[in-house]
Structures are given as C-alpha cells and as structure tokens.
Chains A and B, each alone.
Chain A
Amino acid sequence: QLQLQESGPGLVKTSETLSLTCTVSGGSVSSSNYNWGWVRQPPGKGLEWIGSISYSESTHYNPSLKSAVTLSVDTSKNHFSLKVNSVTAADTAVYYCARLSRWGDLYYFDNWGRGALVTVSS
C-alpha cells in the first residue's frame, strides 16, 4: 500500500529557504504511471496548489509562487522534494505531498501524505 511521508524542519526563519522531502513507500517515484505534487494549507484556511512534477522531471508551478518554488525528484532515494525561497509568515502552512494518478484524461491528486506543519518566524 502506498504511503507518503513529509519530512523537514518545522520552523524556518523569515527570508530563508523552506525545504521539505516526501518519502514514498509502497511505490516508485520513477514510475511513468504517476506524477508527484505539493499542496499547502495555511492554518484555518483553504488548500493551495503549489506544483507538480512528473517522473521525467517535467514541472508545473502555481504562477503566484513560481519564482520562489522548486520541485525535484530523487529516484535513488525514492523521494521528491520542495524548496521555497525567501519565505515570509504567509508561507506558514501545513504542507501536503501527494501522488497524482491518471483518472480519465488527467492526473489527479489521489493519494496524500499526512501533512507537515511549517512555521515561518523571525
């Protein structure tokens, strides 16, 4: 059974880089059947799509975050990662990693990690 687990610092200082890793078990990040992505949720607020990456490392990013975000895949460690540069308090959120599977014509977020709270503070 597929499991996704986010890991990384729970506290990041303002203007520094937020880095999270999503370790995949029960599946392979190098599979051509799936893409991988990140969604965040500020405390008490709604979901925000951050971006997605394919097994071939083709990426798509939220236009409002694009200049600050980088996604990558490490097939040797079977994990994928998120970096957000120059963070502010507005980047405080629960960060979810997720698998995207093909349903019909598109890839949808069908399997999610439990989420990791990252707080940005000076």
Chain B
Amino acid sequence: QSALTQPASVSGSPGQSITISCTGTSSDVGGYNYVSWYQQHPGKAPKFMIYDVSNRPSGVSNRFSGSKSGNTASLTISGLQAEDEADYYCSSYTTSSTWVFGGGTKLTVL
C-alpha cells in the first residue's frame, strides 16, 4: 500500500486559517469515511485529533475541523496559535482492512 500524499509543509500567521490536504485513492480515502488526523510535536508521540473524516474526540479544540471530497481529505485549523506548530499526519482505513498514513505535513506558525 502506498502512503497518502500530503504537502511537505504549510505555514500561516497567528489568527489565520490553514488547510492541509491528504490525497489517496478509491481504495482508501475515497472508499471510506474513515480518515483520521494526528498532531505530533517534535520528540513527542502523535495525538489523536480527528476521526471519521470530521469528528473531534473530546478535548480537541473546535479550531480543528476535517472534511473530504472524493479521494482527498482535508484538515483545517482556524485561529492559528503558536502551539499548533507541529507535524500533522492523515490516516485512512483501506479495502485490505489495514491502515495507511500520509507522509506528514510540517506546519509553521510565522
């Protein structure tokens, strides 16, 4: 299985909104509404941020939102804050009953 495609980096200023894309195929992102997103700060374990494309676990800020169109899922962070600077990974369930991650996107808050 091939990794999902994410931009290597995105950036934004405090208070702005940014969107990170995650492109797969009809065998993963496009075939299921089972996309999740993880936030990872340097040297730390990933943190579960979004599931089922657009749902937030309890405790995750409502500044984080997810969506999907066709084979591409997106994570939007509104009202950017300095602590949002991190790496972000998408993940999708696949037709093989497995999981695949994206390559990761480094978010820089300017």
Check A109–B46 contact: CB distance below 8 A.
yes
* Chain A residue contacts of B34, Cβ below 8 A: 105-106
The A/B interface has a contact count, at CB < 8 Å, of 65
* Chain B residue contacts of A110, Cβ below 8 A: 48, 57
Binary interface encoding of chain A residues 82-122 relative to chain B, with 1 for a CB under 8 A from any of its CBs, else 0? 00000000000000100000011110111111110000000
CA distance A62 to B97 in the complex (A): 10
Given A109-B48, A110-B57, A112-B45, do A46 and B98 touch, yes or no (CB 8 Å)? Answer: no
Check B36–A108 contact: CB distance below 8 A.
yes
Interface size on B, residues (CB 8 A): 27
CA distance A96 to B57 in the complex (A): 21
Please tell me which one of the listed residues A39, A52, A63, A103 contacts residue B55 in the complex, with CB atoms under 8 A apart.
A103
Residues of A33-53 at the interface with B, using a CB-CB cut-off of 8 Å, are 39, 45-49, 52
Please tell me which one of the listed residues B36, B46, B96 contacts residue A63 in the complex, with CB atoms under 8 A apart.
B96
CA distance A114 to B44 in the complex (A): 7
* Chain B residue contacts of A39, Cβ below 8 A: 46, 101
Please tell me which one of the listed residues A48, A61, A108 contacts residue B101 in the complex, with CB atoms under 8 A apart.
A48
Residues of B31-45 at the interface with A, using a CB-CB cut-off of 8 Å, are 34, 36, 38, 40, 44-45
Interface size on A, residues (CB 8 A): 25
* Chain B residue contacts of A1, Cβ below 8 A: none
Binary interface encoding of chain B residues 12-52 relative to chain A, with 1 for a CB under 8 A from any of its CBs, else 0? 00000000000000000000001010101000111110011
In the complex, 19 of the A-B residue pairs with CB atoms within 8 angstroms, ordered by the A residue number, are A39-B101, A46-B102, A46-B104, A47-B40, A47-B46, A47-B104, A48-B101, A49-B99, A49-B101, A61-B98, A96-B45, A96-B46, A104-B52, A104-B55, A105-B52, A106-B51, A108-B48, A111-B48, A112-B47
Interface residues of A (CB under 8 A from B): 39, 45-49, 52, 60-64, 96, 103-106, 108-115
Interface residues of B (CB under 8 A from A): 1, 3, 34, 36, 38, 40, 44-48, 51-52, 55, 57, 89, 91, 93, 96-104
